[in-house]
Structure 1
């Protein structure tokens, strides 16, 4: 795949395995009738990480699955911006899913990927809402929003965020302090590159992208599911609670 800002992104498509092994006369369900799940991995992940492959195998029992490596990860080009420009990678994957014939696209993001699916859900909406784009997209996101029409059908029909942060720059846990060291220090970026196969951009965010908690109210009317365990080592429970509160009554499950 190629993103709207020209970054090549590796991606893998897996058809739904439901009904695999059925009788020879059985007809396969058309792609248009089969939902597709687009998986957005966490920081230092990639399509070939064991956790990503396990998730893909489970999801493929109910839907087709697209996995991809965010920029700077795996065999994708570019450098990681730790959740900023990655929204363009996800948009390319969703648009690709629709070119394969799928009408229903579910985005499922984990950790950093969770923050990306939330922002993507706010910035990329169904074409029927395009007239509201100028109102929906904050000024500081216009550099991303200006790409939102380039990939037709880049919106998600359902958004699922797993273990997502609610706000940026969180350093309240030891794992997050280590992550900030990896991202912000030259020696940390070397560890990221050679230890985790993750190439990290050296530039600071400018402007700072829309935070997950600010993105959540803009996702409706697409359904939103928030999943978070009480033993998450990175983000404690105040993060999902903030996201749920931002969604409002009936705005998220």
Structure 2
């Protein structure tokens, strides 16, 4: 798997990847913490921590201005949709809204942005989410909530079903109800993007998303 960046790209045709439209949300903290996390299968995932009202000091987290310990503040882990990423404007708007309620961890799924590997469109991405959740716990958060959109919505549901997920709540927005659904024009375009060599080239150079060429075996739950 490639661990290199995909670079900055321009979208070339419409694949829905934003379920939020609030452009008036407050800006997130100016200096988020960035890390590359290693997944269970060895893929490097770019992740960003926006502490919200929590104070980040040197190498460890302390408490917010109310004096409450960090563990009392929830961490919200956001899983973006297909062709998304930590620096996409719609993802940053989600972060800006959610930092009102807790600290936020965002990450780019494998094959997206500067993360390594190739997208498996909801299969191995569960390992990416697990690495982000573990980072939130390593930062001291006792309560973790996962929020996923579209492809990320299916990933947070599959992750929450794992016996060792340890999630306090899960929110799935506009997740697919079943795999291989082709009932709408956007989903038919998505299947072309994922299954055809020409589509995967468009995904790589048009959307900055590197898509794995192998089919699912077995099909994910």
Q: Compute the TM-score of the two structures, normalised by the length of structure 2.
A: 0.77
- 1:61 correspondence with 2:72: no
Write the distance in 2 (CA, Å) between the matches of 1:5 and 1:16.
Answer: 31
RMSD: 1.6
Contact 1:192 1:199 in 2 (8 A): yes
Q: CA deviation at 1:27?
A: 3.8
Write the distance in 2 (CA, Å) between the matches of 1:171 and 1:54.
Answer: 29
Distance 1:205 1:60, change over 3 A: same
Counterparts of 1:1-253 in structure 2, within 5 Å, are 1-17=37-53, 26-125=65-164, 154-210=165-221
Distance 1:191 1:44, change over 3 A: same
What is the SS of the residue equivalent to 2:77?
strand
What is the SS of the residue equivalent to 2:94?
helix
Q: CA deviation at 1:28?
A: 4.2
Structure ranking higher in helix proportion? 1
Q: Structure 2: which 5+ residue stretches go unaligned?
A: 1-36, 56-63
Q: CA deviation at 1:157?
A: 1.3
Aligned residues, how many? Answer: 177
Contact 1:18 1:62 in 2 (8 A): no
Q: CA deviation at 1:155?
A: 2.7
Structure ranking higher in strand proportion? 2
Q: CA deviation at 1:73?
A: 0.2
Write the distance in 2 (CA, Å) between the matches of 1:26 and 1:123.
Answer: 35
Distance 1:53 1:124, change over 3 A: farther
Contact 1:121 1:159 in 2 (8 A): yes
Q: Structure 1: which 5+ residue stretches go unaligned?
A: 20-24, 126-153, 211-253
